[in-house]
Amino acid sequence: MSEVTTDASELYFERGGPAYRLMQRIGVIRGEGPSIERRIVCSILLTWVPLFVFAILDGRALGTTPRESMLLDFSTYARFFLAVPILVLADIIVGP
């Protein structure tokens, strides 16, 4: 006979993965709550900031046209500042 779980957090899809455990270890996620705001900020920092640093090192952070400049390319902002938070917010719907 199988064991029945009594902990509701074990039933959530997004909890318990490697990224979730890493964020718990570094203090982004505290307690049992989802910490959505901190997870969004952390996700943006982990995706956008390295890209920005590499653009600076490559000399493409600022240019004359959006095609030559990362900071003038608004599609970059749409990808990182809209899509990443939507993915994190999806955990609220997918989890339960």
Segment 70-81, tens digit of pLDDT: 888 888 778 888
Q: Which residues contact 35 (CB under 8 A, 6 or more apart)?
A: 23, 28, 29
**Residues 37, 41: Cα–Cα separation, whole Å:** 6
Question: 69 vs 9, 52, 53, 65, CA distance in Å?
Answer: 44, 11, 13, 6
Q: How large a percentage of the chain has pLDDT more than 90? A: 4
Model confidence at 57, pLDDT cuts 50, 70, 90, reads very high
Amino acid letter at 92? I
More confident residue, 27 or 13: 27
Amino acid letter at 44? I
* Domain range list for the chain: 8-94
* Residues 35-59, mean pLDDT to the nearest whole number: 87
pTM: 0.67
Checking if the pLDDT of 2 tops 60, the result is no
